[in-house]
Chain A
Amino acid sequence: MEQQVATFTVKKGLAQMLKGGVIMDVVTPEHARIAEDAGAVAVMALERVPADIRAHGGVARMSDPELILKIMDAVSIPVMAKCRIGHFVEAQIL
């Protein structure tokens, strides 16, 4: 069989590897390093953490792609990011 990427199995498999672990919300590369050192299995790169959004109001937006790249460089664990629902150009950037 030829090598296959992006199959259902490898996508589901990643979730299986994360089981029993903590995924930390982070805003900066520095946060991400703290999370990794503390034993997080992955980080979620957010523009603002939910508590700040609740405190200051407004909507949850996608992080700056430059910042996401910096966070990806900062840690060896998986990095996840979100975009606004329906904003497919943001999704394409991710």
Chain B
Amino acid sequence: MAGKLLRIGVLALQGDFAEHIAMLRRLGVEAVEVRLAEQLDGLDGLIMPGGESTTFGKLASDFGLIEPLRKFGLQKPIWGTCAGAIFLSKDAHRDQPLLKLMDITVERNAFGRQVASFEVDLDVPALKAVSDDDVPFHAIFIRAPLIDSVGEGVQVLARLEDGRIVAAQQGHWLATSFHPELTGDPRFHQYFLRLTSAQK
């Protein structure tokens, strides 16, 4: 399936980028750590990991990465998990540097503090595109953000039981509140690779 000869970058300013890289290598694609603008050259897609979005913003601003990342994102797929999703969004209801690419607004720490972090099984119909396994996706939410509104042209991929949005896609941009890289389940990564190879 998808993945052959793909070069995927993982934003490695801070956070759990190593887990994303491990998953990508497991799927047989080339995974590259991205800390500088020139490291975006020649990539087919980019994953922005979990971590602290305020720290991403600070480091990306200091290293002149905001504009190069925006330009990259206009051409190529980007997937943000947790803090990465916040960084991809157009609004996080507070003053912090964001890429402002994807037409979603997010609420940081929407479920409360770390004591409220949780795991739950989610129904994600879109994953049927990459796998015949019709089992729920085990989602891990750590001080997770919530996608509290989506613009036109944004497709909701997953909701919690109470209807709140935790995964969305807009064209070649993907945002998830939870951490597929912390599970052994590669389906979300496969889904992103499929998006990437379609774009290539």
Contact = CB atoms under 8 A, between A and B. Distances in A.
A36 B100 CA distance: 21
25 contacts: A1-B136, A3-B119, A3-B120, A4-B118, A4-B120, A10-B140, A10-B141, A10-B142, A13-B142, A13-B182, A14-B114, A17-B50, A17-B83, A18-B52, A19-B51, A20-B13, A21-B14, A36-B54, A37-B58, A38-B58, A41-B55, A42-B52, A72-B113, A76-B94, A76-B109
A78 B118 contact: no
A18 B18 CA distance: 12
Interface of A: 1-7, 9-11, 13-14, 16-21, 36-42, 72, 76-78
B129 interface: no
A76 B54 contact: yes
B117 A39 contact: no
Contacts of B179: 13
B107 to A, nearest CB: 11
B189 interface: no
B16 interface: yes
Contacts of B136: 1
Interface of B: 12-19, 50-52, 54-55, 58-59, 82-83, 94, 108-109, 113-121, 136, 138, 140-143, 179, 182
Nearest to B96: A76
Nearest to A20: B14
Contact of A76 (B51, B108, B114, B121): B108
